[in-house]
């Protein structure tokens, strides 16, 4: 019987919960709040406590619709919640009150201190000198956000003025500088993943960071590698790079390197398993708790945490923990996740920040490994009541948070500042950003969210930071465009078709219809997605689908400086002395319309359609963050079918262009005989039209490959791929029962034929992959080398609790309302009783054998095998080939055998070849690539019996050559 990963030990469901009750007593009661620990978080994983009234129904992280949407949701959620509560009352929540399941990880305390990696040693030395001079109030300032809209960026902490540490400016997002003017709207992450081009991944990150630095930003809230893409309709999948951990890991790491090469701190997010938008955080969907993603230990390591390991190895400065719960413990308060896996096992040296309002306890999150809370407000938006701030000050004074933990929190943040060279005042002047996230006017308030009287100052200086970054944006958009189908049609000529093809097409039309065509070549452009609509910035946070689709919506979107539409670019590129261009920029099928009469005369039709999604705080149509289905939106399927049946009386050629956030179903029209070409352009950003015409006219040979699988139905992806649209409990429980088998792994395991496999992409030329050679570099062994001793020692500080006088408001201090300060009005009511730390807090944790440095045990990153193949361009034009290396584990026999996917991606490259040219491509395969996570041994284990198989091809279903080791 094969090993079932769903039976493996679940990652700790209670690791932080033991500290939650007292955490809220400190963080909520001490502030006079009406919130109580038992109102928000369960004791012993029994989430059966009701909460007070919901927070004000306004912005969820960024002020967008909450009000309008919730009326539409009221019946939807209300009925479901009533049924859930009724059932819960009847059954007593027995399911969630039982003992932890077999193999569940224990709590992991205390937080490992940063400063053990040699690559960070000098930065920690500098940080230690600075932190040792900070007062208690200054330390709390550094760790706590000042509140929503209390600075010009979406997130700001407060400075430590006396020691020279500035206020940090944190800004979304993963594809550009959110809320800023005169910036580049780069292609989205999913488009970057589709390039399969490491150099472009790095270049886009670098250009992004240049703009951030010149706008006055310290920390970019990106890149995004979570969600991974378990669910193809997931609302924020487009922010990441694709539905495979290896591809996400490489793209994320290259982006981090590009960003940090310019001295900007990158933030890899969202850690971890925030795979859908429905129920992602408390009260956003009318429920008191966020969904719990329940994942076994092996799946967590091999899928969802994998790309974060790559980012840590790349030296990422910050990790953002996610909104959701992981095995019934909030991700930002799960000690096993943050302390055990991230900081011990992966050796993360930077700081963990919360997603905006993802912190759900005070002391509990500090003990569990959170280092910075954003935006500073605690359980409700924009109320100025923090779970840290003055409550963290109080927790230090009363001993509930050890001073050593606070010192480590601050040191990690300051060390990251030094590590990125942000102490250089020439590159990082100590001043606010030169733009405001809250107004487009030149003058504005420095703290927009405070009702206190303030003088207006210059907040927008309209600095243009774009330089020539449109070139990179265009390259990424073009290389991220995937040619899915091409039956001798593309590339087009600017005259319409090359002369020989034009004569042949007109002869075919004459024979089929009796019509004789002459004169200009007649082309029709169809679909709202080809045009400008009401402009790219018409809807706040891009949360509507109109005009051509350049990005998804939410915090990952930006203000477009412009959007080059397909119709505009086509008008510029077609030779209008030879081509008669007709545009029908509507999604209404042309039945019985004026357009219908002209369709019979068209010789080529280009149809545009799309599918949009975004973050859960907004909705468009019936897509509430997550897509409602995998269909084309706005009647795209009907439009394509209608145009295909009427274009040239149904015999002229049709090109379909899709802009989409992820896979879309194409079964209704993909096999129509006159649908000769299909392009999936993903989300191309501001250079959309230019990039598309580069491909259509052959200026660039298409080289994009799918970063996900396109199935023939949603059911093809398996039950685990379906969004939970209705809650199944007051605390929704989402069991990842499919384990390792998502996307192509699921298709392979169940022998399901995809419409287009993962990694697929056509070219205008042909390639051949041959002559595989496998070269062992090291000997197989089950476990990595012993964990090495730390290269450096973490800083040490005095542990004496500072005097209470450091916590009081300075005399005559004028405080802004809602602004979060570290100070207390009084310390007279300070608790002096010993604090009941969580069970296991004072137990020395065994260090993970998988740890030992940034990214984990160094042996995991050692190259054990190289695989070389020869690639050749066998076609008529130059182009780029993407050879992909897939690994198959040795077959396991017997009842104790380990269950492995059929194949997993373990390498790729992109090589440009002229016609007839050949090159050798070599893949380096590391121990981690060859290993699986063994739950019993809690380590990465290599299979030493049997043979590994290495297949190289142009998609997951096209393996051209195979070698063995």
Q: Known catalytic residues?
A: 355
Q: What angle do CA 565, 567, 569 make, to 5 degrees?
A: 70
Q: Helices in 314-455 by DSSP H: which ranges?
A: 335, 363-368, 390-397, 403-419
Q: Are 916 and 877 in contact (CB under 8 A)?
A: no
Q: Are 934 and 872 in contact (CB under 8 A)?
A: no
Three-state DSSP class for residue 949? strand
Using DSSP bridges, classify how beta strands 292-294 and 733-735 pair: parallel, antiparallel or unpaired. Answer: parallel
What residues does 963 pair with on adjacent strands?
A: 950
Return d(Cα 773, Cα 705) in angstroms, integer: 24
| Tokens, residue 723 | 């969004």
Three-state DSSP class for residue 822? coil
Chain centroid to Cα 232, Å, comes to 14
List CB contacts of 859: < 8 A, sequence separation 6 or more.
Answer: 784, 785, 927
List CB contacts of 232: < 8 A, sequence separation 6 or more.
Answer: 243, 630, 662, 663, 708, 711, 714, 717, 721, 743
Return d(Cα 837, Cα 28) in angstroms, integer: 18
Instruction: Say if residue 689 is exposed, middle or buried (CB neighbours under 10 Å; 0-12, 13-18, 19+).
Output: buried
Return d(Cα 779, Cα 308) in angstroms, integer: 27
List CB contacts of 341: < 8 A, sequence separation 6 or more.
Answer: 11, 300, 305
Distances (CA, A) of 485 to 40, 154, 482, 488, 489: 52, 43, 9, 10, 10
Least Cα distance to 394 among 828, 796, 837, 838 occurs for 828
Q: Are 682 and 483 in contact (CB under 8 A)?
A: no
What single-letter DSSP state applies at residue 579? E
Using DSSP bridges, classify how beta strands 863-873 and 918-926 pair: parallel, antiparallel or unpaired. Answer: antiparallel
Return d(Cα 236, Cα 172) in angstroms, integer: 14
Least Cα distance to 220 among 173, 151, 271 occurs for 173
Least Cα distance to 168 among 130, 216, 127, 210 occurs for 216
Q: Are 509 and 522 in contact (CB under 8 A)?
A: no
Q: What angle do CA 634, 224, 350 make, to 5 degrees?
A: 165
Q: HSE-up of 170 (CA within 13 Å, CB side)?
A: 34
Least Cα distance to 914 among 880, 882, 883, 884 occurs for 880
Q: Are 931 and 940 in contact (CB under 8 A)?
A: yes
Q: Helices in 702-830 by DSSP H: which ranges?
A: 743-749
Distances (CA, A) of 280 to 95, 115, 963: 21, 33, 44
C-beta atoms surrounding 346 within 10 Å: 25
Q: HSE-up of 415 (CA within 13 Å, CB side)?
A: 33
| Tokens, residue 298 | 């092996």
Q: Are 300 and 230 in contact (CB under 8 A)?
A: no
């Amino acid at each position: 019987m094969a090993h079932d990963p769903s039976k493996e030990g679940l990652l700790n469901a209670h690791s932080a919960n033991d500290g939650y009750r007292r955490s809220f007593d400190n963080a909520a009661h001490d502030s006079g709040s009406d919130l109580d620990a038992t109102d928000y978080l369960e004791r012993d994983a029994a989430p059966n406590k009701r909460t007070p009234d919901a927070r004000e129904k306004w912005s969820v992280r960024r002020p967008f619709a909450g009000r309008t949407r919730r009326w539409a949701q009221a019946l939807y959620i209300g009925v479901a919640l009533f049924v859930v509560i009724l059932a819960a009352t009847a059954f007593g929540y027995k399911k969630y009150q039982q003992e932890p399941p077999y193999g569940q990880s224990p709590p992991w305390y205390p937080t490992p201190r940063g400063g053990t990696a040699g690559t960070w040693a000098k930065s920690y030395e500098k940080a230690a000198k600075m932190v040792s001079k900070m007062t208690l109030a200054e330390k709390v300032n550094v760790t706590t956000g000042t509140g929503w809209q209390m600075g010009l960026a979406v997130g700001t902490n407060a400075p430590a003025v006396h020691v020279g540490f500035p206020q940090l400016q944190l800004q979304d997002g993963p594809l550009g500088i959110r809320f800023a003017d005169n910036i580049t709207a780069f292609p989205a992450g999913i488009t970057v993943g589709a390039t399969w081009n490491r150099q472009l991944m790095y270049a886009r990150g670098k250009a992004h960071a240049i703009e951030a630095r010149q706008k006055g930003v310290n920390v970019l809230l990106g890149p995004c590698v979570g969600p991974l893409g378990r669910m193809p309709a997931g609302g924020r999948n487009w922010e990441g790079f694709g539905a495979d951990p290896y591809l996400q890991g490489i793209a994320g790491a290259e982006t981090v390197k590009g960003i940090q090469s310019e001295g900007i701190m990158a933030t890899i997010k969202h850690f971890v398993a925030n795979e859908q938008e429905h129920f992602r955080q408390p009260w956003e969907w009318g429920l008191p708790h966020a969904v719990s993603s329940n994942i076994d230990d092996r799946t967590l390591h091999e899928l969802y945490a994998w790309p974060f390991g790559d980012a840590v190895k790349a030296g990422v400065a910050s990790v953002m923990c996610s909104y959701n719960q992981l095995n019934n413990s909030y991700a930002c308060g799960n000690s096993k996740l943050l302390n055990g896996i991230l900081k011990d096992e992966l050796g993360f040296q930077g700081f963990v920040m919360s997603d905006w309002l993802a912190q759900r306890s005070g002391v509990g999150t500090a003990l569990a490994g959170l280092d910075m809370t954003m935006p500073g407000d605690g359980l409700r938006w924009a109320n100025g009541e923090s779970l840290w701030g003055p409550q963290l000050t109080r927790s230090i004074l009363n001993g509930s948070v050890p001073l050593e933990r606070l010192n480590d929190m601050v040191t990690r943040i300051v060390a990251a500042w030094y590590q990125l060279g942000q102490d250089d005042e020439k590159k990082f002047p100590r001043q606010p950003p030169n733009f405001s996230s809250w107004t487009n006017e030149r003058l504005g308030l420095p703290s927009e969210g405070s009702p206190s009287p303030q003088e207006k100052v210059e907040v927008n200086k309209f600095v243009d930071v774009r330089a020539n970054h449109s070139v990179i944006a265009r390259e990424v958009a073009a290389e991220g465009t995937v040619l899915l189908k091409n039956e001798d049609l593309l590339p087009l000529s600017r005259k319409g078709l090359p002369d020989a093809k034009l004569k042949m097409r007109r002869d075919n039309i004459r024979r089929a219809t009796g019509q004789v065509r002459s004169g200009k070549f007649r082309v029709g452009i169809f679909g709202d997605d080809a045009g400008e609509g009401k402009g790219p910035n018409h809807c706040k946070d891009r949360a509507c689908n109109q005009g051509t689709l350049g990005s998804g919506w939410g915090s990952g979107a930006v203000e477009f400086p412009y959007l080059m539409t397909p119709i505009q670019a086509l008008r510029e590129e077609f030779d209008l002395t030879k081509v008669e261009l007709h545009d029908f920029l509507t999604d209404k099928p042309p039945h019985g319309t004026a357009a219908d009469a002209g369709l019979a005369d068209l010789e080529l039709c280009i149809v545009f359609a799309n599918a949009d999604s975004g973050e859960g705080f907004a909705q468009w149509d019936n897509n509430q963050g997550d897509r409602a289905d995998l269909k084309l939106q706005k009647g795209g399927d009907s439009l394509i079918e209608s145009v295909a049946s009427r274009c040239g009386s149904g015999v002229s050629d049709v090109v379909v262009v899709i802009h989409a956030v992820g896979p879309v179903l194409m079964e209704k029209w993909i096999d129509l005989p006159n649908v000769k070409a299909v392009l999936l352009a993903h989300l191309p950003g501001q250079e959309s039209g230019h990039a598309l015409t580069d491909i259509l006219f052959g200026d660039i040979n298409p080289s994009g490959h799918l970063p996900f699988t396109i199935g023939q139905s949603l059911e093809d992806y398996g039950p685990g791929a379906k969004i939970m649209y209705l809650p199944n409990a007051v605390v929704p429980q989402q069991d990842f029962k499919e384990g390792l088998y998502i996307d192509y792994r699921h298709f392979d395991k169940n022998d399901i034929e995809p419409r287009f496999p993962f990694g697929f992409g056509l070219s205008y030329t042909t390639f051949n992959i041959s002559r595989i050679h496998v070269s062992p570099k090291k000997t197989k062994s089950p476990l990595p080398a012993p964990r090495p001793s730390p290269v450096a020692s973490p800083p040490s500080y005095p542990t004496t609790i500072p005097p209470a006088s450091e916590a009081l408001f300075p005399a005559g201090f004028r405080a802004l309302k809602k602004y979060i300060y570290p100070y207390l009005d009084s310390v007279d009511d300070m608790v002096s009783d010993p604090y009941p730390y969580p069970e296991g807090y004072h137990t020395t944790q065994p260090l993970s054998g998988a740890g030992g440095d940034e990214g984990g045990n160094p042996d995991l990153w050692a190259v054990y095998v190289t695989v070389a193949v020869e690639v050749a361009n066998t076609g008529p034009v130059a182009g780029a080939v993407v050879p992909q290396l897939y690994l198959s584990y040795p077959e396991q026999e017997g009842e104790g055998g380990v269950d492995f996917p059929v194949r997993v991606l373990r390498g790729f490259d992109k090589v440009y070849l002229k016609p007839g040219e050949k090159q050798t491509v070599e893949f380096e395969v590391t121990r981690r690539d060859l290993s699986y996570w063994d739950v019993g041994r809690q380590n990465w284990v290599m299979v030493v019996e049997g043979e590994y198989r290495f297949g190289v091809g142009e998609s997951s279903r096209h393996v051209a050559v195979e070698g063995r080791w």
